[in-house]
């Protein structure tokens, strides 16, 4: 069965830990893995502009000895109306994996439904799972562990980053707090999923509109852009609603003394985060940005290996064995042929063994 990475909880807690451990190993030995040796190609499609996602995937695939095919999806036939299903059927005959940054989650789900190679969500309107792998890797590097840590997210609780923090951090056994205005709360279905995961992992989920108290005792304080692409209309109202949720020096006073700050970027100093915090000593943002490459290499390698392993297991035992018993009538026919000397001819060894062109 082909494995895909479309949503953060597509990985079990054990699988997530395995991928993060692999990311640490790849960071220590960036050129030591031949995942796509050949080189095999990886299609990296973009419906939306990108800096970090494009650079990190392009560099990462190359480090895995592969060939990254960067495709502007809107300039391709996909952008002119060719179906996602047909695009998937074409791409999976040419590449070892498909990475796509697109709009609605249903689009990448459809790509995966029709692809025989792994499909990775490089960002949709609903989730950003690759970013969360990078964030978890960064947190693990700083603290040595994830389970039991507390992460507080400030800002638009209805966006893709908040949803991914809920699912990915719950999977890691982390306590998650979402501090957001009542007008921008997370999807209740995502919250419910996160709560189920958190309960199983011994963690907790809190969604609140009380900005002041949300950072108390937090190990990690995170935020995201307040006005994302496509949200320009009504931006002034959004900015007014989100103003109390800015991360500043006062926020960090409430968190633990060794707390770190993360931001997936691009950042707008003076809006969601102040310059002194973004560029300050508690910021791990630049490590976080670098870790996109290592985390994405790990999930690519892991998915390809897992899919190949499943294919091998499915193929085990397929086809007749040399020890397959012959039916009685076939055995009788063999005995007749062995005793028949009237023809004076013999089948060639090639014909008997089936080795014919």
Task: Give the chain's domains with CATH numbers.
Answer: 8-128+292-305 (3.40.50.1370), 132-289 (3.40.50.1370)
- Over the stretch 154-200, which tens digit does the pLDDT of each residue have? 999 999 999 999 999 999 999 999 999 999 999 999 999 999 999 99
Higher-pLDDT residue of 126 and 309 is 126
Average pLDDT over all residues of the chain: 90
Q: Which one, of 162, 257, 252, lies nearest residue 208 by Cα?
A: 162
**19 and 291 Cβ atoms separated by less than 8 Å:** no
- Is 101 in the active site? yes
The radius of gyration of the chain from alpha carbons, rounded to an integer in Å, stands at 27
Is 92's pLDDT higher than 50?
yes
Contacts of 324 (CB under 8 A, 6+ apart): none
Q: Is 91 labelled as part of a ligand binding site? A: no
With 60 as the cut, is the pLDDT of residue 7 above it?
A: yes
Instruction: Quote the pLDDT of residue 329.
Output: 46
Q: How much is the pLDDT for 48?
A: 85
Q: Is 208 one of the annotated binding-site residues?
A: no
Q: Was 129 annotated as part of a binding site?
A: yes
Containing 271, the helix (H) or strand (E) segment is none
Q: Which of 264, 293, 296, 301 is catalytic?
A: 264
Kindly state the average pLDDT of the residues 7-19.
99
What is the per-residue pLDDT for 234? 82
Say which of 16, 40, 126, 131 is annotated catalytic.
131
Is 121 assigned a ligand-binding role in the annotation? no
Does the annotation flag 246 for ligand binding?
no
CB 6 within 8 A of CB 119: yes
Q: Is the pLDDT of residue 327 over 60?
A: no
Q: Which residues of 305-336 are buried (b: 16+ CB within 10 A; e: fewer)?
A: ebbeeeeeeeeeeeeeeeeeeeeeeeeeeeee
292 is known as an active-site residue: yes
Give the pair of three-digit tokens for residue 159: 């966006």
pLDDT at 320: 39
174 is an annotated ligand-binding site residue: no
Candidates 264, 288, 296; CA nearest to 26 is 296
Is 224 labeled as catalytic in the residue annotation? yes
pLDDT digits (tens, 9 = 90+) for 124-136: 999 999 999 999 9
Residue 126: count of CB within 10 angstroms of its CB = 19
Mean pLDDT of all residues in 85-108: 97
Lowest-confidence segment of 204-213, 226-235, 257-266, 300-309 by average pLDDT: 226-235
Catalytic residue among 193, 238, 292, 301: 292
- Global confidence as pTM: 0.86
Of these residues, 8, 10, 92, 101, which one is catalytic?
A: 101
Q: Which of 4, 8, 126, 128 is catalytic?
A: 128
Q: Is 9 annotated as a binding residue?
A: no
Least confidently predicted of 72-81, 94-103, 111-120: 72-81
Sign of the dihedral through C-alpha 27, 28, 29, 35? negative
By DSSP bridging, strand 119-123 and strand 150-154 are unpaired
264 labeled part of a ligand binding site: yes
**pLDDT surpasses 70 at 342:** no
CA-to-CA distance for 330 and 47, rounded, in angstroms? 61
Assess whether pLDDT exceeds 70 at residue 242: yes
Residue identified by tokens 């109306």 is 81
**Which pLDDT band holds residue 80 (cuts at 50, 70, 90)?**
confident
How many Å apart are CA 88 and CA 134, to the nearest integer?
Answer: 27
């Amino acid at each position: 069965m082909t494995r895909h990475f479309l949503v953060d909880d597509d990985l079990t807690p054990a699988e997530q830990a395995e991928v993060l451990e692999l990311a640490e190993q790849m960071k220590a030995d960036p050129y030591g893995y031949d995942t796509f040796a050949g080189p095999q190609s990886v299609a990296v499609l973009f419906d939306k502009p990108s800096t970090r996602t494009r650079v990190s995937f392009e560099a990462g695939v190359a480090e895995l000895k592969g060939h990254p095919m960067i495709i502007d999806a809107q300039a391709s036939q996909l952008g002119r109306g060719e179906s996602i299903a047909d695009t998937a059927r074409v791409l999976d005959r040419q590449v070892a994996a498909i990475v796509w940054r697109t709009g609605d989650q249903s689009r990448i789900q459809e790509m995966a439904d029709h692809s025989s190679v792994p499909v990775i969500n490089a960002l949709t309107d609903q989730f950003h799972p690759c970013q969360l792998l990078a964030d978890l890797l960064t947190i693990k590097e700083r603290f040595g562990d994830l389970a039991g840590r507390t992460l507080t997210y400030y800002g638009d609780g209805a966006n893709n980053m908040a949803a991914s923090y809920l699912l990915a951090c719950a999977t890691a056994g982390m306590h998650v707090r979402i501090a957001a205005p009542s007008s921008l709360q997370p999807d209740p279905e995502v919250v419910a999923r996160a709560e189920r995961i958190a309960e199983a992992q011994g963690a907790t989920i809190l969604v609140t509109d009380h900005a002041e108290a949300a950072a108390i005792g937090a190990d990690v304080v995170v935020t995201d852009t307040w006005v994302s692409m496509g949200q320009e209309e009504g931006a002034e109202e959004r900015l007014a609603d989100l103003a109390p949720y800015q991360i500043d020096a006062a926020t960090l006073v409430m968190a633990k003394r060794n707390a770190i700050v993360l931001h997936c970027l691009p950042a707008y100093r003076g809006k969601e985060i102040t310059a002194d915090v973004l560029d300050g000593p508690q910021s791990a943002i630049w490590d976080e940005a670098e870790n996109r490459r290592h985390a994405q290499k790990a999930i690519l390698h892991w998915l390809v290996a897992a899919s190949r392993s499943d294919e091998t297991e499915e193929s085990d035992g397929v086809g007749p064995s040399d020890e397959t018993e012959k039916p009685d009538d076939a055995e009788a026919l063999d005995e007749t042929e062995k005793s028949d000397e009237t023809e004076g001819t013999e089948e060639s060894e090639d014909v008997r063994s089936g080795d014919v062109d």
